[in-house]
Amino acid sequence: MLKIEGLTKHFGGLAAVSDLDVSIGPGETVGLIGPNGAGKTTVFNLVTGFLRPTKGRVVFEGKDITTKKPHYLAGKGIVRTFQATNIFPDFTVLKNIVFAHYLRPRISFWETVCHTQSSRRKEAEILQRSHKILELVGLEPVAGTTAGTLAHGYKRLLGIAIALAAEPKLLLLDEPFSGMNAEEVGTTMQLIDRLEQRGLTILLIEHNMRAAMNLCQRIVVLNFGKKIAEGSPEDIRENKEVIQAYLGAGEVIA
């Protein structure tokens, strides 16, 4: 489904990502892990078009998408979440989701400005779908709350919900569990599990090792922009190089 070939990005003299090859099949959940500064988020930015690679190609469903803009890629079904700015703080939770339905269904300029019958019908449809998404992620009780005032865990969930509203085929989650407490991590893991069961393809950046190991069928480990290992969670857990680079020598994970 997604194929990354020889992807390289230099920031000045620094190679943030060098010669990375990853491929993801439909319905797969792949984890991208690595220490801070390993270039994980840079890979996300390159795949989703927020950055242009120095070298290499990104192919999605057989088409080269290397130089495409983020909004175009969202239309093709590649949607990401962000680590930091991941919600519209001044909108209510519901409005956040309504906003994210920008492309599907598309409402044209004149339709919406003239408030035509067809635009009203589409708006109603969007509202209905938005409520469904809020139910799915468990944010329905806070639908009317201003998003900026939500607790951190809820904000993170809303970030995922916004991405879901754009109806992705490939969902890229940038550290969905960061800053969550144990209970929230549990709920979010269940949510991602459910998305997997629906057949969504997911690429996941994660620091929380247990969550990554549990969720992903395959894990890619980055260090200093290079892929140092790839394989099933079990393989990764025992890979010496990974333990050295990422987990620190001599440490054992639960």
Partner 1 sequence: MNKRILIWILSYGILTVFPFLIPLFITGPYVTHILILTVMNIILASSLRLINLSGQLSLAHGGMMTIGAYTSTLLVVKLGLSSWVALLLAGLLAAVIAGLVGFPFVRLKGIYFAIVTIFLTAMVTLMAQQWRSLTSGSYGIYNIPRPDPIVIPGILNITFTSSVNCYYLVLVIMLVSLIMLYAIEHSRIGLTFRGIQQSDSLAESVGVNTAGLKVLAFSIGCFFAGITGGFYSQYIMAIAPDTFGFLFTVYILIYMTVGGSGKFIGPILGAFILTILPEVMRPLKQFQPFFFAGVLMLVIFLMPEGIVGLPGRLKTIAGRLFKEQQERA
Interface ranges with partner 1 (CB under 8 A): 48, 50, 69-71, 74-75, 79-82, 85-91, 95, 98-100, 102-103, 107, 109, 112-115, 119, 123, 162-163, 165-166
Please tell me the distance from the alpha carbon of residue 130 to that of residue 96, in angstroms, as a whole number. 9
CB of 98 to partner 1, least distance (A): 7
Cis peptide before 53 (omega within 30 of 0): no
Please tell me the distance from the alpha carbon of residue 83 to that of residue 173, in angstroms, as a whole number. 9
Beta carbon nearer to partner 1, 126 or 180: 126
CB of 245 to partner 1, least distance (A): 30
Beta carbon nearer to partner 1, 44 or 177: 44
Beta carbon nearer to partner 1, 100 or 205: 100
CB of 237 to partner 1, least distance (A): 32
Beta carbon nearer to partner 1, 70 or 153: 70
- For residues 195 and 136, is the Cβ–Cβ distance under 8 A? no
- For residues 75 and 68, is the Cβ–Cβ distance under 8 A? no
Strand partners, 254: none
Beta carbon nearer to partner 1, 162 or 185: 162
Residue 247 CB: number of other CB atoms within 10 A? 15
CB of 31 to partner 1, least distance (A): 21
Smallest CA-to-CA distance from 31 within 165, 181, 203, 253 is with 203
Where do the H-state alpha helices sit in 115-201? 117-137, 152-165, 182-197
CB of 125 to partner 1, least distance (A): 13
